[in-house]
Amino acid sequence: MYQKDYILRMIAEIMKFIGEILGLIKKEEYGKASKMLEEAYTTFLKEDAAYFSNILEKDLTKELLEKHNYTNDHLEILIELFNAEGELNIAQGDRISSVGFFRKALILLDFIDKENRIYSEERLHKIENLRKKIEELSSDSLKNK
């Protein structure tokens, strides 16, 4: 029971943190947003942002589950951080990097969706939105080449 309460508090805290980061992005305070993101990775997942950035998509779930014993709750936090990273990259004009973060978020969401086997309309909505965003950004990147 205590662990579940702790995890729920941690998720609530990360969502507040993500909201603040997105607010900074909206205000074009990219340096502060980037610093907060780095802090969030370290605080909530005990690794720096570069570690997660450098994991190949094909190794993502295996790396996180086997080497770190992350739970689905950890993966949910990482999904939110990847989304915020993607938004920061878009705001800074780096659409290609943003696609990478959104793809990683989608991989984790798909994994959780298959593992949980519990219907979640919210999760399915997130998956669909990510797929659309990736498709739009990818096609925009191809047009700009």
Q: What is the pLDDT of residue 71?
A: 87
- Please state the pTM of the whole predicted model: 0.89
- Give the Cβ contact number of residue 107 at 10 Å: 18
Convert the pLDDT of each residue in 16-34 to its tens digit: 999 999 999 999 999 999 9
CA distance 112 to 16: 22
Given a cut of 60, is residue 144 above it in pLDDT?
Answer: no
CA distance 115 to 117: 6
